[in-house]
Amino acid sequence: MTIRRLVTGTVGGRSVILSDGAVPRHHQYKSIPGFSTALVWATAQSSAHSDVVEDPITPTSSYVPAPGETRLEIVTFPPDSVYLSKDFDPAAAYAEQQKNLTGMVEHFDPENPGMHATPTIDYGIVLEGTIWLELDGGVVEKLEKHSVIIQQGNVHAWRNRSEQAATLAFILVGARQD
């Protein structure tokens, strides 16, 4: 799936399209069929409106924003059956995530696969499919298309117990950890 990114701004007092094209950091995982991540946009703490397109996404941009920064991400989660397949190689999957989920992998709990917490406030929107949000202590909540999730730095995992992929959009806002 190619994600189109349209960036607009104001030049000479008029609204204009500054850029129109594919997201620069989009990865379809070979070791996890059906899993994809896209880092669509980022803002720095001191971001201001601009009439010039200086792409904030680089090959090493972190998926986790620092305090005051933001990230827009789109993630497609395959069914959990992909991870249970006899062909699934956890070491290869982890290596591919280390390379392509810059900044996020460091927040994964190695003792509890999928569980993670980031120092962010996250707004998540289910765009397609059904996904299950798992919290500490085995709390699980089913979320369907157009459900909205607000997370506040808590430990969680995404589980797809269905037979279809689920796609979510996430806006992460970097927060201070007090």
Asked if 144 contacts 116 with a C-beta cutoff of 8 angstroms, the reply is no
- Between CA 34 and CA 106 the distance in angstroms is 22
pTM value?
0.92
In this structure, of 16-25, 62-71, 165-174, the range with the lowest mean pLDDT score is 16-25
Percent of the chain with pLDDT over 90: 77
Residue 48: pLDDT band with limits 50, 70, 90 = low
pLDDT at residue 91, as a whole number: 94
Distance CA 68, CA 56 (A): 15
Q: Residue 63 in contact with residue 71, Cβ under 8 Å?
A: yes
pLDDT score for 63:
96
84-87: long-range contacts, CB 8 A cutoff, minimum separation 24: none
What does the pLDDT read at residue 51? 63
Query: Which residue, chain included where needed, has tokens 């104001």?
Result: 10
Nearest C-alpha neighbor of 41 from the set 1, 77, 5, 67 = 5
Tell me: the pLDDT tens digits for 119-174? Answer: 999 999 999 999 999 998 889 999 999 999 999 999 999 999 999 999 999 999 99
Q: Residue 26 above 90 pLDDT?
A: yes
pLDDT-wise least confident of 38-52, 67-81, 125-139: 38-52
What average pLDDT does the segment 50-62 reach? Answer: 81
Whether the CB-CB separation of 36 and 2 falls below 8 Å is answered with no
Tokens in use for 101?
């989920």
Instruction: List domains and CATH numbers for the chain.
Output: 4-174 (2.60.120.10)
